[in-house]
Structure 1
Amino acid sequence: MILFPNAKINLGLNIVAKRKDGYHDIVSCLYPIGWQDVLEVLENKKKTELKITGLDIPGPGGAGKEKDNLVLRAYELLRKDYNLPAVTVHLHKIIPTGAGLGGGSADAAFMLRAVNEMYQLFLDDFILEDYASRLGSDCPFFIQNKPVIVRERGDVFEDVQLDLKEYWLVVVKPPVHVSTAEAYAGVSPASPEHNLKEILEQKPVEEWKNLLHNSFEDSLFPRFPQIKELKERLYTAGALYASMSGSGSAVYGIFRQPVPAFSLEADYQFWQGPMR
């Protein structure tokens, strides 16, 4: 079985409060996009194996540390409960890591979906979301893979009526890796000035620039000026709205139409395509 785990962007991201459990309460909108990895899952009669190609994955779960990879951890969650056979997994990484695009979370969630279908477990989405929540805050989103408002740790969902299919998306990842812990260390929690759901459902994209905000930009832009510069370059290129995604370092711009030319240095990663 071959699946194509896709990335996401954050439309607005407010860090609301520090929680007693050490995490943070947030308010954001997660929106699926077309930048994809490739995940192949095959039955293996001997032992479970994971092969990673494409982009290198730094830190735990990277090349040479496959046993810690979220994809295998996702498989092990189901294997323990349903006595599943061994599998061979080939993960081809295309979505940049350390980008705020949720690629690793998507890979894990799609692994749960693949195993559920391959072995006809007939698990409902809410059950798969429970498994996914044990892997990371973003993982449950990729089970249904549709735009939602997320709250608390990012695992409480609220439907949002938002269709951006008429727009074009450009996403750029500079050669900067921002760890989630590093990003959260610099934020000052505060309640958002505007109601995110009302903005997304009632205001045109052209007005989002003055209404939506990513709290991580306040502390990361001074430390990583190339991220701030990217956002400015997207607006100069004609973006209706531009923002850093998640805790960075990828930046995206929403356009009316395809961008014919966007000059970048060789070590920048780039994707553009229609919004879903």
Structure 2
Amino acid sequence: MISYPISKINIGLNITEKRPDGFHNLETIFYPIQLQDVLEVVESDAFEYSASGIPVDGDGKDNLVVKAYELLKRDYKLPPVKIHLHKNIPAGAGLGGGSSDAVSMMKMLDQLFQLKIQPNKLFDYALSLGSDCPFFIDPRPVFARGRGEVFTDVQVNLSSFHLILVKPSVHVSTAEAYSQVEPHKSRLSLNGLVKFPVTKWKGNIQNQFESSVFAKHPEVKEIKNRLYDEGAVFALMSGSGSAVYGLFRSEKRGIENSFPKDYQIFRHKL
């Protein structure tokens, strides 16, 4: 069985407070984009995991697709499987690729072995693997609160824009990014700000992670500035970084020449 886990961008991200459980409450808009990995799982005589495409740091057993399999195996009599993950979504980018892979893995196992996992149980499994994992169960534009798992549908349509996504050769640790941010509640909610025309987003919709990430990795700030120089209507770092996206009114050709050759650049008509 094969699936194609998608990714997301964050339209704004406010860290509002630190919770007693050690997590943070936040506000963000999750918006799905069709930058996809490829995930295959088949029943096998022995468990096996392999990967290709964009390299992922760390041991294979720490990959979220393996953790998703082990999580379900504790509650269901799962046979050994052979997993292959082809990565197109860069890690350490703020695009939710690993979270999306994990949720796709659970949904495939549910279907392949007829586990009949109830929706609320799948949600709980997903949340135990990562705060943004539940979004990928039914990815659609949402205003997210809490840890990022409390959803309200939001009317955001970017179909008239072209997206340019730039990932520099730096990896931003999510844990490190959270340790550097100072939580505070914004005067205006993202749920209201996102209703403005996209041309009004610049200067109004912010990502609170940018200040600390830009200070440590100035090349990430330079990407955002360059995207605006190239004509982006709106540009923002996604999640805790390090990928930065720009929204353009028309297809932008030759933009690769504006960035170092080791940067990963993706283009997509939204």
Measured after TM superposition, the shift of residue 125 of structure 1 is 3.4
- RMSD over equivalenced CA pairs, Å: 1.3
For 1:57-72, list aligned pairs within 5 A.
57-58=56-57, 62=58, 65-72=59-66
Matched, 1:136 2:130: yes
Identify which of 258, 262, 265 aligns with 2:260.
Answer: 265
Question: SS of 1:183's equivalent?
Answer: helix
Q: Is the CA contact 1:148–1:159 (under 8 Å) kept in the aligned structure 2?
A: yes
Offset of 1:123 from its aligned partner?
3.0
- Tell me if the contact between 1:19 and 1:25 (Cα under 8 Å) persists in the aligned partners: yes
Q: What is the rounded CA distance, in whole Å, between the counterparts of 1:96 and 1:74 in structure 2?
A: 19
Partner of 1:274: 269
In 2: Cα distance, 1:136 partner to 1:142 partner: 11
Given the alignment, which residue of 219, 223, 232 partners 1:230? 223
Matching residue of 1:94: 88
Looking at structure 2, the residues matched to 162 and 115 of structure 1 have their Cα atoms a distance apart, in angstroms, of 32
Q: 1:216 aligns with which of 199, 209, 213?
A: 209
Please identify, of 118-127 and 16-25, the stretch whose mean Cα deviation from structure 2 is larger.
118-127
Q: Tell me whether 202-211 or 117-126 shows the greater mean CA deviation.
A: 117-126
What stretches of structure 1 of length at least 5 have no aligned partner?
none
Equivalent in the alignment of 1:240: 233
Using a 3 Å threshold, how does the CA distance of structure 1 residues 113 and 42 change in structure 2: closer, same or farther?
Answer: same
TM-score, normalised via structure 2 length: 0.95
CA offset at residue 132 of structure 1?
0.6
Deviation digits for residues 160-193 of structure 1, max 9, x if unmatched?
Answer: 1222222111100011111012111221111012
Give deviations 1:83-115, integer Å, cap 9, x for gaps. 121110000111111111111111101101111
Give the deviation of 1:127 after TM superposition: 2.7
Q: 1:151 aligns with which of 115, 125, 145?
A: 145
TM-score, normalised with respect to structure 1? 0.93
Code of the residue aligned with 1:30 in structure 2: it is F
Distance in 2 (CA, whole Å) between partners of 1:258 and 1:123 is: 42
